[in-house]
Amino acid sequence: MIVQEMLAQEKAQSSTSVNQEVDLDELMDHPELEKLHADRIAALKKEAEKREALKRQGHGEYREISEGDFLGEVTGSEKVVCHFYHKEFYRCKVMDKHLKALASKHLDTKFIKLDAEKRDCSR
């Protein structure tokens, strides 16, 4: 008798799992799920294109610019961090290290530096 009960339970469980598999197959072919999948793929492609465009503008790296390039660099991007540094100041070297690490993590922000000694203050 116990064997018959165990067989009955196993049969009920297997039919339930078959029904669940059929339900999952039906869901996978559902038009709303396909639309969500297509929307997600489109969003990922758009995000990748935006990342590439930002990299072409100089985002994702910490680099030195000249004074003549300053205006074009800061007006060409929405978010910019510019470090006006002095090469003999130890704290500027520490700041450079941290800004370099941040630049690769925050692609939406452009990180640049400008030598404060070379800047023409006579204007």
> How is the chain split into domains, by residue range?
1-56, 58-123
DSSP label of 121: -
Q: pLDDT digits over 38-58, tens only?
A: 899 999 999 999 989 888 888
Give the C-alpha separation, 49 to 101, whole Å. Answer: 23
Question: What CATH number has the domain spanning 58-123?
Answer: 3.40.30.10
Q: What pLDDT was estimated at residue 102?
A: 95
- Whole-number pLDDT of residue 33: 80
pLDDT classification of 79: cutoffs 50, 70, 90: very high
CB 113 within 8 A of CB 65: yes
Average pLDDT for 4-19: 66
In the predicted model, is pLDDT for residue 113 greater than 60? Answer: yes
- In whole angstroms, give the CA distance from residue 67 to residue 119: 6
Angle value at C-alpha 79, between 75 and 85, nearest 5 degrees: 85
What pLDDT, on the 0 to 100 scale, is given for residue 15?
A: 59
How many residues in total does the chain contain? 123
| 79/37 Cα distance (integer angstroms) | 32
Q: What is the pLDDT of residue 17?
A: 58
